[in-house]
Amino acid sequence: MKTTRTLPYIKREDGLNIFIRLTPDSAKDEVFSIEQSDLGGPYFKARVRAQPEKGKANKALIKLIAKWLKIPKSNATLKSGTQSRLKTIEIINPDDETIERLKNYTDSLS
């Protein structure tokens, strides 16, 4: 079944879910584009320098997303995708500036 999700994130009543395709063991840490996928809709593409062992890449991704959105690391958690390249990051209690920043990043990467 194909999804109807058209953005790489979903705004919920109490937060955001951000969908990411992660490449570990890269040359730098960055969110660099949006990829369209039949596996659930669009994803932000991100890469981190950390190795995919003992949760290092997942921790690096949380740090990257927090820096990217200018939020505390404690507001971002890995909701799903611990062992997968496709991840869902949950952002709790985002303020209006964070949501606007995410919209702007989405527009600039599309």
Task: Give the CATH number, domain containing residue 88.
Answer: 3.30.1200.10
Across 81-88, average pLDDT:
94
Task: Give the 3-state secondary structure of residue 5.
Answer: coil
Classify residue 4 as left (phi > 0), alpha (psi -120 to 50) or beta: alpha
* Number of domains observed in the structure of the chain: 1
Provide the residue range defining the domain that includes 16.
9-109
Q: Which of 59, 66, 48, 64 is nearest to 82 (CA)?
A: 59
Question: What pTM was estimated for this model as a whole?
Answer: 0.92
Encode pLDDT of 46-68 as tens digits.
999 999 999 999 999 999 999 99
Would you give the DSSP letter of residue 37?
A: -
Tokens for 79, please give them. 């909701």
Spatial separation of the C-alpha atoms in residues 31 and 35, rounded to whole Å: 11
Encode pLDDT of 20-48 as tens digits.
999 999 999 999 999 988 777 899 999 99
**Residue 94, domain member (yes or no):** yes
The CB-side HSE value for 27 (13 A sphere, CA atoms) comes to 1
**Residue 4, domain member (yes or no):** no
**Residue 2, domain member (yes or no):** no
Look at strands 15-23 and 43-47 and give their pairing.
parallel
**Residue 38, domain member (yes or no):** yes
Residue 1, pLDDT > 60, answer: no
